[in-house]
Amino acid sequence: MKCSICTSEIDVQANGYKEGHNASPISNGRCCTICNDNVVVPMRMAFMISGRPVPTTAIKDILKEQREARALVDVSLKNMAKEVNERKNDG
């Protein structure tokens, strides 16, 4: 099984458990011990300390949606700039 954060193979625990750790709120799915210890748990602690609720949508998914939205904005801005330049050249 692959870690849903780093995509490495999920390690087998000392007790023989092979399913990894809950990767929420970083990702939906399971994660390896390294990502759990260095990414997931610190993020959960940060939410607890700040008093903010842990998001129900995985942070990885939120970031993906933001990147996609940004890409659309970039394309729109390029098209608008092209149209403005064409109008300047025509008139």
**What digits encode the pLDDT tens for the residues 3-35?**
999 999 999 999 999 999 999 999 999 999 999
pTM score, whole prediction: 0.68
DSSP per-residue codes, 4-63: TTT-PBPPPPTTS--S-EE-TTT-SSEE-HHHIIIIIHHHHHHHHHHTPPPPSS-HHHHH
Per-residue pLDDT of 34-52, as tens digits, reads 999 999 999 999 999 999 9
